Structure 1
Amino acid sequence: MGETALSYASGVSATALLGETIGENLERTAARFPDREALVDLASGRRWSYAQFDAAVDEVALGLIEAGIGKGDRVGIWAPNCAEWVLTQYATAKIGAILVNVNPAYRTHELGYVIAQSEMRLIVSAVRHRTSDYRAMLAEVGFGQSEQSPRAQQLVFIGEPGWDALVAAGRAADPARLRERAATLGFDDPINIQYTSGTTGFPKGATLSHHNILNNGYFVGEGVGYTEADRVCLPVPLYHCFGMVMGCLAATSHGACMVLPAPAFDPEATLAAVQSERCTSLYGVPTMFIAELDHARFGEFDLSSLRTGIMAGSPCPVEVMKRVADKMHMSEVAICYGMTETSPVSTMTRRDDSLERRTETVGRVMPHLEVEIVAPETGLPVRRGEPGELCTRGYSVMLGYWDQPDRTAEAVDAARWMHTGDLATMDAQGYVNIVGRIKDLVIRGGENVYPREIEEFLYQHPDIADVQVIGVPDEKYGEELMAWIIMRPDAEPLTADQVREYCRGRLAHYKIPRYVHLVDHFPMTVTGKIRKVEMREQALDLLDLHSAAAIRSA
């Protein structure tokens, strides 16, 4: 590929897309590997073989049919990671109901919105999680009070008689009803709504089909070489694509085992799960891997069973990737890049990629997909090596935002390219590097500054555990750089002068942070995405920059 080539690549593959529903795929796997373990829920001590798991899914599916849930009806799931979450995921798919993932961190404002916007008919819910009283919040928004809705609403609480009654009804039902329903389903049917956490306004419901998420999960599994011998440790949230698609569907489409270490991320429980279950694969966002590596008892756990895993959710620091490959035995660990609207993975590193490729890029385009990098101002592909907006096209692009055609048209153009909002470059071999968000780009005195470059540089400092760089208002330059830093345990706190001195002579002067803020943690979403918008808002108060922020610029 010459230097003048455009930043476009398509994923050529000899492996065909799966043309089946999630239910059909699960049944095929269960028939091939009936006695292999499918699901382990360590918090409750329960285990299912594939034959048992498929049978348990059918009971929940029939229970939902008995409850009057029809094809296309929306069924909410609001719970931390647990076996019932996974059973509900596959049961709704088997009957053609649309599973609506509700973020475990939601409060009544967001909960009420997604219930109304998706017109949920039934919610499978935990009673509580951490400080959240789900039962009280559901009562507060009026769910289950039929006079509030044109159609009856039903509540099923996990671990209570409602769940047991649902399963019992399914067990007593005629299995032929499930076969009849399955015969009406197509793999392009909508099967899942995932609300993306918008930085402003209400979230949008990305609507995904069997074809979208089954194939994405399958090809992620292919990318890390899954077989029925693999055991996949999933400390990432099931309510997000990372857990339910890259985790569950990647596993079940290959006959691998899903291991749930705890209801929510706990570094020690995760390390213990890898050891006790002899897991071969471990998932996490970079902050999770950092927490595991820096855990006081890290050296006590036998992680030698690991060979692979996936790091995704936010850009991975090079130094963290190297430690994961070396100290956690994950020599084949992959980096995945994507977004909910693309089911989610668009690019991925491969097992035979060098460590440099796996630490400096987010890999190449996935099979059967296309990616291009375009100039935001023209929409035309840029030359290889030049930054622009990353776009994805193919089977993985969502059906649209639920009941929001205008918002869909803003994100997916007439040629069916999904615009990610991420700034990226593509090299001559087709490897993609994410250099920031379009909204994160800092323009300091006319110079374009990509925070990711400065973050990668500062990660090399021996006392810095994690770092995020943002732009803050400045009266002279328009924007200045601010580094938020988490120190390594037992390291002496760094001053702003020390950080600047470390950069001096090694970074261009306009890339050296003017401000340094030491913190214990970053504001982030439940899925581990750093909320730089919130960091900028806090910076206005921390640095008293409200007057600079009020200055209008062209």
Structure 2
Amino acid sequence: MLTHRQMLDRGAVSYGPRTALVDASGRRITYTDLDRMTDALAAGLLGAGARPGETSVWLSGNCLEYLIAYFATAKAGLAFSPLNYWLRPAELEGLVDLVAPSVVFAGREWTDVLDAMPAVGAARSRVVLGGAATGWTGWDEVLTGPGSLDGVPDDENALHEIVFTSGTTGASKGVMRSQRGRILDSVFSALAFEVRRSENLVFCGPQFHIGGASVPNQVLVQGGTATIVAFEPEVVGAAIAGGASYMIGVPAHYHLLFDSGVLEKIDTTRMRGCYVGGSVASKALFGSISDHFPAADLVQGYGSTESGPHTLALRGQDFLDHYGTLGLPVPGTEVRVVDPAEAARELPAGEIGELLVRSDSVMSGYFRRDDLTAAVLSADGWLRTGDLVSRDEQGFFTLAGRAKEMIISGGENVYPKEVEDVLSEHPAVAEVAVIGIPDPVYEERVLALVRRSGDATGTTGEELRQFVRARLAGFKTPKDVHFVDDFPRTGMGKIAKGELAQQYGTVFDA
């Protein structure tokens, strides 16, 4: 059985006094403590009325408590759904309504927002971190509350994770995964990325992403240490000075870390691996990583919330020999390159097609959206990624394009249609196209190209930016708004976004 209860029980026996988790304040939690605390929280949730098979949501900044809640909900038989704290209240409410949680975890700064949501009011338990709030139970109170795990099913195939991602339509989709899927992904990705049990892995990405659990689990399944911090150059620098040996970040993290100068007085020679996620970074950035961390391997991977997330991996000498590729499949992963219009037709090496993935860690589907699941996941388990790739004769994959038009800004996924739909609500906007353009720090930034309505000549780009900012998360808000008289068109009259990307891709370079 591959369950988190068994993983942590055995971890306590095998690695008891070793440090499992560290935070920015220096707080340390051993494997013995992690097992004990997650047992206690799980029992406290059940004692407060939660029942196996129900759901929970989490809304807070990065902290060790995230992983304690993650594992505790698994032990209690609850599904766990982390929410994006950058979303606006209306965006959050739609996700909360869909999950219909029995348990709500939140940092004190988010309790007022959540209190306005009927689905939160209907929850059996509301647990607050970092303060007190009327109608909410304190974290420590639940941790020490009455309850028992006796009789709770320990099912490796039961739903545990509901992690939200956005689709090409902008509609949020909850990706479902079992405990078995997560643990297998952790083991296989640790093998592929050569993450060892002696590792001190520093994680600074938002925990509401799939990586919030999948990345720390790579060391927690084998007795290593995960250092959990929120990204600030000084904080990450302190973690590196404290002995971190493996760093996970998107290109923006590395740019900001290097530009800050915090590494100038720090011994960086203990860093043995630097993973760059989010998208294919520039050669200049990889050179800068090698300059700042001379003993570290360069590491890169490919995946998605739906696929595991670890699907392809590249590290060390393979990275140097096959620079520009996405790497080889992670152990336990099957991959195919097929004709996008005819998925049954597999393509030979060298031809560009859609990447299909099958493994034990591929999602089981989209939460309460069987229609969307059927569109991407076949009955025999093959996931259509929507990404276009080619495979060379040695089996290494190269990304050719994103069939979904997704923009990656600072490691965050932005889907143009969602932003276009909001801008279209403004009376000054007659027509709009949103594209991603290169950015030296954030990989890509969002550009909105707007054709004004006839009587709106005085409307400014900043006015439109603020209009979006009030309705969508900041990372989705266009960094630039450019007004046009008309758009290039396809033969069917649609806006030709490919031409726009070529035309505007260098106009706004910093």
Provide, for residues 440-488 of structure 1, a one-character-per-residue CA deviation record: whole Å limited to 9, x for no partner.
49xxxxxxxxx99xxxxxxxxxxxxxxx9x9xxxxxxxx9x99544489
1:336: which partner in 2? 301
The Cα of 1:360 is off from its aligned counterpart by 1.4
Provide, for residues 151-189 of structure 1, a one-character-per-residue CA deviation record: whole Å limited to 9, x for no partner.
x442111123521210110xx54xxx32531xx222111
Select which of 326, 342, 350 maps to 1:385.
Answer: 350
- Cα distance change of structure 1 residues 304 and 142 upon mapping to structure 2, 3 Å threshold: same
- Cα distance change of structure 1 residues 485 and 223 upon mapping to structure 2, 3 Å threshold: closer
| Pair 1:406 & 2:371 matched | yes
The separation in 2 between residues aligned to 1:553 and 1:284, in whole angstroms, is: 41
Q: Secondary structure at the match of 1:236?
A: coil
The separation in 1 between residues aligned to 2:130 and 2:319, in whole angstroms, is: 47
- Cα distance change of structure 1 residues 72 and 325 upon mapping to structure 2, 3 Å threshold: farther
Select which of 236, 245, 258 maps to 1:270.
Answer: 236
Q: Secondary structure at the match of 2:257?
A: helix
1:60: which partner in 2? 41
Letter in 2 for 1:167: L
Q: Secondary structure at the match of 1:120?
A: coil
Q: Secondary structure at the match of 1:313?
A: coil
Q: Is the 8 A contact 2:101 2:119 kept in 1?
A: no
The separation in 2 between residues aligned to 1:304 and 1:50, in whole angstroms, is: 27
- Cα distance change of structure 1 residues 483 and 85 upon mapping to structure 2, 3 Å threshold: closer
1:366: which partner in 2? 330
1:11: which partner in 2? none
Letter in 2 for 1:282: M
| Pair 1:234 & 2:203 matched | yes
Pick 1 or 2: higher relative contact order, CA cutoff 8 A, min separation 6: 1
Select which of 130, 135, 143 maps to 1:167.
Answer: 143
Please, what TM-score do these two structures have when normalized by structure 2?
Answer: 0.79
**RMSD over equivalenced CA pairs, Å:** 3.0
| Pair 1:116 & 2:97 matched | yes
The separation in 1 between residues aligned to 2:30 and 2:236, in whole angstroms, is: 22
1:192: which partner in 2? 161
The Cα of 1:125 is off from its aligned counterpart by 0.4
The separation in 2 between residues aligned to 1:242 and 1:424, in whole angstroms, is: 23
The separation in 2 between residues aligned to 1:352 and 1:485, in whole angstroms, is: 28
The separation in 1 between residues aligned to 2:84 and 2:319, in whole angstroms, is: 36
2:456: which partner in 1? none
The Cα of 1:275 is off from its aligned counterpart by 0.7
Q: Is the 8 A contact 1:75 1:121 kept in 2?
A: yes
The separation in 2 between residues aligned to 1:218 and 1:309, in whole angstroms, is: 19
The Cα of 1:100 is off from its aligned counterpart by 0.8
Provide, for residues 387-436 of structure 1, a one-character-per-residue CA deviation record: whole Å limited to 9, x for no partner.
11111012121111011100001111344211111111111111111122
- Cα distance change of structure 1 residues 317 and 530 upon mapping to structure 2, 3 Å threshold: farther
- Cα distance change of structure 1 residues 354 and 139 upon mapping to structure 2, 3 Å threshold: closer
Gaps (5+ residues) in structure 1?
Answer: 1-18, 129-133, 147-151, 442-450, 453-467, 471-478, 489-522
The Cα of 1:545 is off from its aligned counterpart by 5.1
1:513: which partner in 2? none
The separation in 2 between residues aligned to 1:303 and 1:124, in whole angstroms, is: 36
Q: Is the 8 A contact 1:226 1:254 kept in 2?
A: no
Q: Is the 8 A contact 2:271 2:293 kept in 1?
A: yes
1:312: which partner in 2? 277
Q: Is the 8 A contact 1:196 1:205 kept in 2?
A: yes
1:224: which partner in 2? 193
Identity over aligned pairs, percent: 26
The Cα of 1:323 is off from its aligned counterpart by 2.3
Letter in 2 for 1:360: G
Please, what TM-score do these two structures have when normalized by structure 1?
Answer: 0.73
- Cα distance change of structure 1 residues 270 and 401 upon mapping to structure 2, 3 Å threshold: same
- Cα distance change of structure 1 residues 551 and 427 upon mapping to structure 2, 3 Å threshold: closer
Q: Is the 8 A contact 1:223 1:351 kept in 2?
A: no
The Cα of 1:142 is off from its aligned counterpart by 3.0
Q: Which stretch shifts more, 95-104 or 160-169?
A: 160-169
Q: Secondary structure at the match of 1:321?
A: helix
1:376: which partner in 2? 340
The Cα of 1:351 is off from its aligned counterpart by 4.4
Select which of 147, 168, 174 maps to 1:205.
Answer: 174
Q: Is the 8 A contact 1:221 1:254 kept in 2?
A: no
Q: Secondary structure at the match of 2:188?
A: helix
2:76: which partner in 1? 95
- Cα distance change of structure 1 residues 295 and 32 upon mapping to structure 2, 3 Å threshold: same
Equivalenced residue count is 438
